[in-house]
Amino acid sequence: MTRSADHVTAFYARHPISAEHILAKIEAARGSLDGLRPEDLWPHDQDHYGGLAANDTLAARAGIVPGLAVADFCAGLGGPARYLAHRYGVTVTGIELTPARVAGAQRLTAAVGLAHRVRVIEGDVMAVPLPDASQDVVVSQEALLHVPDKAAAIREAARILRPGGRFAFTDWVAHRALTRDETETLWTGIAAQAVQTIPGYRALLARCGFDRLHEDDLTDEWGGILAERLRMYRRLREETRAAGKPSGDEAFYVAYVKLVELVQARALGGVRLVARR
């Protein structure tokens, strides 16, 4: 199967969590969107594993303090970017490939009055539209699996970081070689371009001029989160089917089940890596 960026953008364009979905839920609960604060979005716009606690751990590992310039690779709807800007007093530029996610991020950011501190722009993390040595920190959460050339993305992080700047990210990793069927299922269902290994990431970081500072194996932690999410997703599918409504993207469901199986078998896992330029 040809690995096309269009498949990645289409996957996120139809993702069930959107700016419209988030704002509709909040409006239904509050009765109005007037006076919306960043904190009002946090229960809805932190789709990465571990939520706000994962943001705080990444920020601590990366040494994020007020006044820094931060780039968020594969920023999605901008949830972590807004959290870091509001909680830590930094300025964040998110790079996001999917136009619908960029528009959604801009809408949510404007709704909570953070447009002066957060911008999410359309771009490819393999060719980042930011100047050399313009950022103090680069972050990314569970997104580099969608990037076909991870070395290019890491080189771009090195390019835009100032000397001494830090690159802090989490991503899926393979603990064993995946079969062709496993690879195709993950590509078809969740647009996973390729999955790196932990030693592979170590080598890429070193090759791109980074000194590795922290490494945390997140496989067990993510395994529990994934299993709970799958149980929740199955309940929702059953409820929608009972109501006679479409039960969601079948390819996504098949891939998600396979993902959980692979993590529980420790064939796949997660890692948090922090390195210094």
Query: Tens of pLDDT along 233-257?
Result: 888 777 777 777 665 678 888 888 9
- Structure confidence at residue 25 (pLDDT): 92
Q: How far apart are CA 39 and CA 258, in angstroms?
A: 34
Structure tokens belonging to residue 225: 């989160």
Give the C-alpha separation, 88 to 61, whole Å: 13
In this prediction, residues 10-38 reach a mean pLDDT of: 91
Helix ranges restricted to H, 167-197: 180-190
As a whole number, mean pLDDT of residues 211-238 equals 90
- For the chain, how big is the Rg over CA atoms in Å? 18
Nearest to 137 by CA among 78, 73, 76, 195: 73
For residues 86-100, average pLDDT: 97
Split at pLDDT 50, 70, 90, the class of 50 is very high
Q: What percent of the chain has pLDDT over 70?
A: 97
Region at 76 (left for phi over 0; alpha for psi -120 to 50; beta for the rest): left
The tokens for 95 are: 């790079």
Q: Give the domain 5-218+268-276 fold.
A: Rossmann fold (3.40.50)
What pLDDT score does 54 carry? 97
Q: Write down the pLDDT at residue 233.
A: 80
Are 153 and 126 in contact by the 8 Å Cβ rule? The answer is: yes
The reported pLDDT for the residue numbered 248 is 61
Give me the helix-helix angle, 5-13 and 99-111, nearest 10°: 40
pLDDT tens digits, residue range 111-127?
999 999 999 999 999 99
3-state secondary structure of 24: helix
Six token digits for residue 73: 């690779």
For tokens 């901008």, what's the residue? 78
pLDDT score, position 186: 93
Q: What percent of the chain has pLDDT over 90?
A: 80
Give the single-character DSSP code of 15: -
* Residues forming beta bridges with residue 217, ordered by sequence position: 271
Residues 157-168: tens digit of each pLDDT: 999 999 999 999
3-state secondary structure of 18: coil
Pairing of strands 118-122, 211-217: unpaired
Q: Indicate if the pLDDT at residue 187 is higher than 90.
A: yes
Coil vs helix vs strand at 55:
helix
pLDDT at 189 over 70: yes
Average pLDDT, the chain: 93
Terminal Cα distance for the chain, rounded: 36
What does the buried/exposed string (b/e) look like for 139-172 if buried means 16 or more CB atoms within 10 Å of the residue's CB? bbbbbbbbbeebbbbbbbbbbbbeeebbbbbbbb
**263: helix, strand or coil:** helix
